Structure 1
Amino acid sequence: MNEYPQSEWFKEWEKYIDKNILLLKNINNEFLIDKLGDSVVKFITKNCLEVKWNNHFILMALIRLDKNSVEKTILERLKMLHRNFKLFFADLNLESFNDEKFEQTLYKYYSEEIYLDHTSNKRTDFLKAYSSSSVLMKKWVENKFDSEKLKEFQNYLLPVFYYRRTEFKIRGKAEQKAKTKRKAETDAIVPHLPQIRVKANFRWNQINRLYQTYKKVLSNALENNQSFPVEFSYNEPEHINETHYFRLWSKRSFILNNPEKFSRSVLTSVRLGLDCYSAEKDSYFIEYLETKSTNSTEEFEGFWFQELLDRKLFAHKRMKLDDEGYEESLTFLKSIGYSENGGLYTNPYRSLHEGVLAPPRLISNWQCKADGHLFDIEPLYVGCTFGLLAIDILTTTGARINELLQINNTKECIKMKKVKDKICYSFMAIPKGRDLPEEFYISKQTMSILQIVAKMLKGQNESNNIPYVEYKGARKYLFKEEKPYYFQYNNRAMREDSTTQCIRFLLHGLYFETKNGKPVTIKSHLLRHAFATEAIQRQKIPIDIVAKLLHHKNFNTTAYYSAPTDTQIVESLNEYHDIIASYVDVDDMYLRSPESLQRELDEYIKKVGVFNKVLGGTCVTDFVCPTKMQCLGCKAKIPEPEQEDELLEVIKLSADMQKRFNKMGLEIEARKAKEMSKQARIELQEIDLIKRYREERKIETQFKLNPFR
């Protein structure tokens, strides 16, 4: 066992930090400092080593790490506290936290008496960060050490100040504001979950057709020794009625065909084949010229990312104040929802992961020299493929984004079961706040997308295996071994922000707004909220089952996620008015005996069982049946196109039932039959879209060379 931590920053920190803190260990006798995330280490090294609260911060970070806080949470707490401590200590000339002026300052800050430019959200975030950190540190140290050892750490604890929540209005205001905002955004998203998933599939099909056509044209040009550029076009499927026009360039040909736009030294290097301009190091990219309607009388849409090309919003270069069109781009981003808490995401589509979305720097720099839009199709294809996989899992399982990043191509992760002659699938991941993996059930559709990703990764590495890489997501100390993760590229695992950018790019242009007219941007956690709300409020799945699906520890969290939206409240009220307008036998309801209620409960708790074949699809819950065996419309069911006939039969049957019940005067039963038909038709629509994008995926495009001649 090592006597000292092995981290390279240990010796540097040793000059400033008490050794008792640096040598703290976890229950496995491992040094905690060796497990700190890179972003936390960089922040502390750059900002906190020489401040008066340096020991407090290191101790707090290590304690949070030992309590299984994710790297992102630790970093956020450090940043929030550091920002305010700098203000307090500088303005009040404080020497330590024991100064009584410190507590007075905190009280005034929470009471909104000082720093009037700080928002309620900012004050509440600081209150949460300070309160939780001070209490956590005190409890952890007291539970870990005896009274003698405790003295060594006493001076490095943040003072605990016990304030009543009712003393300050800021927390209530900020929490209510945040909840109202999140619920308004959820309200805008919930009705469109199936459409979001379907749109992502259609768009992936479109980018895949372009990518496959590009590879065919390039292969044809190289085999036949054609000179570059090569002009080509291809037609989209008939229901799209569009023709796209491109030029295929090599790096050398682009320079030689635009000699007036390059320096003499570059031209000389190209002609002589020197350094990076040699024929062996040549690379290829395309220039998007235009899109036309195949039928000239119809309008056309082109690619969904056209305006992002126009504004260079996924280029490698970061947008800066002195860039041409900077203000116009900011206005555009704000109009589609990329502003939050007064700030603005100036690069929401700019990926920092090499080979994902962003084109090479060279292409970004050469854009001003081209007639059309230059882009490298491979990074776009890669980004859309990762985006498709993420959207599919987020909208069908409600998983967190860091749980997606854990999916890897090993038998310990991907599970296949044969249930009643049918192969069914799931993956294992460690949820937030846990240390052991739990099971997430996925569909055959999700598995097919995983296979697309696997093929892409194997092709990029020219291997039959997915590369083993180091995990880069939250809580990476839990994943010490390199694994063949699906979310990786260029031999480097992806982070949460890169995956989010892929989702944003694939869904760009889908416009959602709250009832107040504010634009809503799709975020992974918003999809999780929407999944929970849809499951409980529309599908009436019990909260304990949804908590299990979301892998929540606390039902209160699930209740917050799934609280009804304004739209759902109005819909429920309208349904209630419809019901009370009809005849209801109150005496019959009143006289229902406890024995009958018990029999209903016994029936209700029967399990359907994971992966059972049910009406119109496959059941994927391993808990009690969420809908009392009423499978139509249930979110615990995955629609299957192969079972379309069953839903068609339901529609016929429900029409007959409506007629019979109406003749018998059973109006409520007739409405139930009508609802059956409605749910079956909704599922048929989703199945129809699934069939369409599956069929579209099989289409092989035919390209035409020199389309302008």
Structure 2
Amino acid sequence: MTNELELKQWYQLLFGKIDSALLELKDYDGNYYWDSVDPNSLRYFVSNIVGTPWQNHMGLSLLSVTDRKLSPQSIYNLMSTINARLKNLFAAAELSEMVEFNYSVVEKYLTGSLMPDHTDRQRQSFLTAYGSFIFNVSKWITTQFTNEQQSYFSKFLFPKLPFDNRDFSVRTKALDVAKETRKTETSAVTPQLPEIRAESHFRWNQVHRLRKAMRDVLEKARHDRITLPLEFSYDESEYTNERWHFVLWDKESFGRYYKVGTSSENEVFLEFVRAENLDDGRPGDGLWFLEILRLRLIGIWDQEYLEDNERLKIVEYLNQWGYEDAVQGQAPFQIRNPGLLTQSVFIVRNSRKFDKLLINLEPIYVACTFARFALDIITSSGARMNELLQISYDKNCCIVTVDNSVTPPSKNYIYRLIPKGREEEENYYMPEEVYRFMSDIVNLLKESYNSSSIPEVEYSAATRKHLMSKKRYIFQYKGRHINEFTINAIIRFLLHGTIIQTSEGNQVVLKAHLLRHAFATHAVQTEKIPIDIVKSLLHQKDISVTEYYSAPTHQQISDTVG
């Protein structure tokens, strides 16, 4: 048995660190509870909780909620929320051991006397998560353990609180503020929904044309055996009326010219030189993302090498576009999938060293392609994030039906996906152009894999992951399924600089779920689609939820009164 245990990854990671009885805990059938813990939760536990005073308490709670079949994402969210707040509370109250942690500490936090800078939302989230752990563990330990085990593990139970959410106004205040914020932001986004979709198409076309121009120059250079670098320009006349100038480099030519090392394999990239107005030659704006590259905001920007004036400039720039936590290092364009947006170390280092705008175009192009597709789906159907990520290149998912009852016959373009709270696929209807754009993504993926097909990959979005099998998911790149964190980041990138402001003049940061709210409001209030049909489109069970989603915005109410 010892040899069997020693081969288990979780045992190797936790042996000698947490309580041994907790580590070797089994169910009635003789199975180790740790075998069932989700890998993401295990990684978080090992990296962030082991070594804290509450490691055994959290470990017992983790086994409890896992055995009680909470979803992996719910478990991760509960655990990370409680862990973050416990670290804050122990520091603020100067605690060092769990025996010092009691209800009075929590009460001070919830009433604001501890950590007054925390928001009502943060306090409410902690109390809700803590209460969930207490409830699940108390139910679990009394039904799964012997009296002797209950006595032993009672020392690892989080202390119960003699109050709950109903005893504090913090929960109501937090929920009211969240609802009002969402409604205010929805009011700003809804009237611009068609423009948002159009802007995403316009920008994707820009980067698509640049990619084609770059490839044409590269092909000609190879055909004519011309060595890089090569200068080129082309007219970006659609709306911008500008001529854009670039230099096409590869690492070897750049290294020779600037005498820098090129340790990794050779690759081509662009240097943006200038943009000029076609009418009078005045300086033009160029691509919308140039300032993001100039400030090196892709990924985690808050690095030690930054000087104070550089950091201040970045914070002011991000604040201008609605990123209120920039001073704390908020990274709106950080992704968690390789090959998307991220610029290579060579590009970033030499951009800074020589004060140049160097561009790895392919990661940007691929990111913009997926962002456009996600935006099209959300703004056309109101699909949730975990629903659009289910789209796969399979006949059971992508369906076209023909309605012969009308003349001429019409086609219905359908994705078969599992909605939130269900376990069976339902129909998601899409416009033809959205459906057809998927073919462009499939071709892009085939090219990237150098294959006539795209591979099956594991579903990586934590929400409802336990229901999803390996498939040929459309949202994939470099052998990995794209997650919701990355989708929101690339949507922000594609639409960066689009001015969307609340009535108070605050810039709105676009998120997938906010666009879902805007879709519902636009459908009911502008398109006048009956609310029961919108309920079906949104795949919601309760029409009162649809009524909340689609309630008229402040501006729509004001216009009616006016």
Residue segments in structure 2 that go unaligned for 5+ positions in a row? none
> Which amino acid letter does the alignment assign opposite residue 301 of structure 2?
R
> Which amino acid letter does the alignment assign opposite residue 319 of structure 1?
D
CA distance in 1, matches of 2:167, 2:45: 33
**Match for 1:390 among 346, 356, 374?**
374
What is the Cα deviation at residue 81 of structure 1? Answer: 1.9
Aligned residue in 1 for 2:225: 225
Cα 1:352–1:83 shift into 2, 3 Å:
closer
Is 1:360 the counterpart of 2:344? The answer is yes
Aligned residue in 2 for 1:474: 462
Deviation string 1:600-633 (CA, Å, 9 cap, x unpaired) is xxxxxxxxxxxxxxxxxxxxxxxxxxxxxxxxxx
- What SS does the aligned partner of 1:107 have? helix
The alignment's TM-score, normalised by the length of structure 2, stands at 0.87
**Match for 2:392 among 400, 408, 415?**
408
Is 1:334 the counterpart of 2:319? The answer is yes
> Which amino acid letter does the alignment assign opposite residue 220 of structure 1?
K
Is 1:304 the counterpart of 2:288? The answer is yes
CA distance in 2, matches of 1:242, 1:86: 53
Residue segments in structure 1 that go unaligned for 5+ positions in a row? 575-709
Q: Is the 8 A contact 1:317 1:361 kept in 2?
A: no
Aligned residue in 2 for 1:525: 513
Deviation string 1:574-611 (CA, Å, 9 cap, x unpaired) is 4xxxxxxxxxxxxxxxxxxxxxxxxxxxxxxxxxxxxx
> Which amino acid letter does the alignment assign opposite residue 290 of structure 1?
R
Is 1:110 the counterpart of 2:121? The answer is no
Deviation string 1:273-307 (CA, Å, 9 cap, x unpaired) is xx75xxxx532111111122222278854212222
> Which amino acid letter does the alignment assign opposite residue 333 of structure 2?
Y
- What SS does the aligned partner of 1:425 have? strand
Deviation string 1:192-230 (CA, Å, 9 cap, x unpaired) is 111111111111111111111111110111111012111
Q: How does 1:421-570 map to 2 (within 5 A)?
A: 421-475=409-463, 477-478=465-466, 481-541=469-529, 543-570=531-558
What is the Cα deviation at residue 31 of structure 1? Answer: 6.5
Deviation string 1:68-92 (CA, Å, 9 cap, x unpaired) is 6454443332233224434656748
What is the Cα deviation at residue 547 of structure 1? Answer: 3.7
Aligned residue in 2 for 1:74: 75
Aligned residue in 2 for 1:399: 383
What is the Cα deviation at residue 116 of structure 1? Answer: 3.8
Is 1:293 the counterpart of 2:277? The answer is yes
CA distance in 2, matches of 1:519, 1:32: 47
Aligned residue in 2 for 1:46: 47
CA distance in 1, matches of 2:274, 2:94: 63
Deviation string 1:337-389 (CA, Å, 9 cap, x unpaired) is 0125x865542123343221122211111114557521121111111101101
Q: Is the 8 A contact 1:123 1:170 kept in 2?
A: yes
Deviation string 1:392-427 (CA, Å, 9 cap, x unpaired) is 111112222222222211223222323324432222
Deviation string 1:532-560 (CA, Å, 9 cap, x unpaired) is 22234444545554343333344454444
Aligned residue in 2 for 1:283: 267
CA distance in 2, matches of 1:549, 1:19: 50
Cα 1:235–1:66 shift into 2, 3 Å:
farther
CA distance in 2, matches of 1:115, 1:537: 42
Cα 1:372–1:559 shift into 2, 3 Å:
same
- What SS does the aligned partner of 2:450 have? coil
Deviation string 1:125-182 (CA, Å, 9 cap, x unpaired) is 2211112332233345556679898667655544544636553222222222222222
Identity of aligned residues (%): 33
**Match for 1:348 among 312, 318, 332?**
332
Aligned residue in 2 for 1:251: 251
CA distance in 1, matches of 2:273, 2:281: 21
Is 1:373 the counterpart of 2:347? The answer is no
Cα 1:140–1:303 shift into 2, 3 Å:
same
Cα 1:40–1:346 shift into 2, 3 Å:
same
What is the Cα deviation at residue 56 of structure 1? Answer: 3.3
> Which amino acid letter does the alignment assign opposite residue 324 of structure 2?
S
What is the Cα deviation at residue 54 of structure 1? Answer: 3.0
- What SS does the aligned partner of 2:351 have? helix
Cα 1:397–1:159 shift into 2, 3 Å:
farther
CA RMSD between the two structures: 3.4
What is the Cα deviation at residue 566 of structure 1? Answer: 1.5
Aligned residue in 2 for 1:61: 62
Q: Is the 8 A contact 2:418 2:426 kept in 1?
A: yes
CA distance in 1, matches of 2:423, 2:140: 19
CA distance in 2, matches of 1:545, 1:136: 38
Cα 1:402–1:18 shift into 2, 3 Å:
farther
The alignment's TM-score, normalised by the length of structure 1, stands at 0.70
Q: Which of these two proteins has the greater Rg computed from alpha carbons? A: 1
CA distance in 2, matches of 1:292, 1:129: 55
Matched residues, number:
552
Is 1:419 the counterpart of 2:407? The answer is no
CA distance in 2, matches of 1:551, 1:147: 46
What is the Cα deviation at residue 47 of structure 1? Answer: 3.4
> Which amino acid letter does the alignment assign opposite residue 275 of structure 2?
T
- What SS does the aligned partner of 2:45 have? helix
Q: Is the 8 A contact 1:5 1:33 kept in 2?
A: no
Cα 1:452–1:39 shift into 2, 3 Å:
same
CA distance in 1, matches of 2:36, 2:223: 52
Greater shift in the superposed pair: 215-224 or 543-552: 543-552
> Which amino acid letter does the alignment assign opposite residue 330 of structure 1?
V
> Which amino acid letter does the alignment assign opposite residue 509 of structure 2?
T
